[in-house]
Amino acid sequence: MATQHALPFPHTPTELHALTKGWWIMLLRGLAAVAFGVLAFAWPGLTIVTLIVLFAAYALVDGLFALFSIFSRDHGVPAWWLLLIGLLGIATAAITYFWPGITAMMLVMIIGAWALVHGIFEIAAAFNLRKELEDWWILALGGAISMIFGGLLLFNPGAGALALVWLIGLYAIIFGALLVILSFRLKSVGARLPA
């Protein structure tokens, strides 16, 4: 019981209620990820630098959604966690925008680190929700996919450009789809919770 409270994520019915009220933020994050993934596959001539700039735009949007949810009071997670995720996304976007001279390999490693850290937080949140949310495993699966994706990029940043474009696009589509599914499950759980 004490270890459960050591994790900074929702673990009471009140916090779960707040998380279910913010289901639409998770939906928007998922839709943004899917849109990014589809763009990666839709442009067959996409260069890795263009893809990285698109990923930076996605990281910026994801970070802004995290920061916005601090003020919405419908997030169900500590403000410091949302602030950290938001600043991480914005920092990733800023590095790409303000230092375009960084090599593509370095930018790929930044994306890998972002996905790895993001995945760790998602898995921690999922395990903390496991008693309150039947579909906690969806968030854990999304976190695991983020960690695998991040690890692949960090350990093989020089992979072929086309393979890297497909890997990044596939990750975005799968991760985004999981967020969309979880958002609707949270909406469903919220409808069943007492007011």
- For the chain, the domains span 8-192
Which helix (DSSP H) or strand (DSSP E) does residue 11 occupy?
A: none
Q: How many residues does the chain have?
A: 195
Residue 177 pLDDT grade (very low, low, confident, very high; cuts 50, 70, 90): very high
Q: Taking 90 as the threshold, does the pLDDT of residue 162 lie above it?
A: no
Helices and strands per DSSP (H, E), number in the chain: 8, 0
Residue position matching structure tokens 């699966």: 141
The pLDDT tens digits for 92-135 are 888 877 776 666 677 778 888 888 998 998 898 888 888 877 88
Residue 195 pLDDT grade (very low, low, confident, very high; cuts 50, 70, 90): low
Q: Taking 50 as the threshold, does the pLDDT of residue 7 lie above it?
A: no
Buried/exposed 86-109: b ≥16 CB within 10 Å, e otherwise: bebbbebbebbeeeeeeebeebbb
What is the Cα–Cα distance from 5 to 161, expressed in whole angstroms?
A: 44
What integer pLDDT is reported at residue 128 of this predicted model? 82
What is the Cα–Cα distance from 38 to 153, expressed in whole angstroms?
A: 19
Give the global pTM: 0.66
User: Can you tell me whether residue 84 is helix, strand or coil?
Assistant: helix
Query: Would you give the distance in Å from CA 1 to the centre of its chain?
Result: 28
Residue position matching structure tokens 């949310």: 133
- Residues 145-168 have a mean pLDDT of 80
Q: Please measure the distance between the N-terminal and C-terminal CA atoms of the chain and give it in whole angstroms.
A: 26
What is the Cα–Cα distance from 118 to 124, expressed in whole angstroms?
A: 10
Q: How many CB atoms lie within 10 A of CB 77?
A: 22
What integer pLDDT is reported at residue 48 of this predicted model? 67
